[in-house]
Structure 1
Amino acid sequence: MTTSDEVSPARILAVAETDVANLGSIVAATLAHSPAARTLLAELEDEQHVPETAVQDYYHRNRDRFLTPEALRRGVDPFSVTAPDDFVPYTHARDSITHELRRAAAHRAFFDWFDRARAGVEYAVGHEHPGDPSHPDHEHRH
């Protein structure tokens, strides 16, 4: 049993590992350790409106993402001659595309908020984050 001061293994990383690369380590750490930041991100996602035309455009520009398993097994080139049944129908893909585009828009809104929120932060010498572009040695890698 853990006390309120201990961190359980399930709470160590509240952000999916695949999202860490997409978000960047500073934002991922914030989301992993701040319920308020996660709530803000969820609210931003709820606020995003994705026009139907954007969803349709995404479907047509990313044909390779919507090949059926059978078409993939046959090695169908989605940008060459194809048959309509080589693709997941738009009506089946629409909701997941909308969700993905809403999530991407929410991340952009969160990044904008995050940049404004930390604009005036001054780090103590030696405690700068090496990935922070405002740090003079931001290309330093560990």
Structure 2
Amino acid sequence: MSTSTTASVSTHILDTSLGRPAEGVPVQIAARAGRSAHEGQEGEWQALGGSATDADGRCKDLPVLPEGTTHVRLDFAVEPYFLKKQADAQQDAPANRDSGAGVFFPEVAITFAVVPGEHYHVPLLLNPFGYSVYRGS
């Protein structure tokens, strides 16, 4: 819940290679604080905890940001998700096996500035060879 002294964050992941939500992706959140956004850039990161995406690709229970947060970092551990998708695909169609190149982006870290009282929804559009992120609503 957002108040005038804290910001709030939510996220979801869409696997654009499948056109479906990415379920089961671990997401960690960290924050740093300062009297201003500039000062916060020099602060230490405080790990707040995490969650995992549900069947809709959403993290509905990310920890609350502490008062004074100026920057937030979301860390998405996408490698296990893609390795599972690759294993499922190989089991379903063994003749179409990939070269075994693995995962190009094993994790995605998104850092952004926040203002107290604002809500930040940060969707991650993900595929095996790229990703995009934006401030949603």
**Structure number with larger C-alpha Rg:** 1
| TM-score > 0.5, shorter chain as reference | no
Higher relative contact order (CA 8 A, sep 6+): 2
More strand by share: 2
User: TM-score, normalised to structure 1's length?
Assistant: 0.26
User: TM-score, normalised to structure 2's length?
Assistant: 0.26
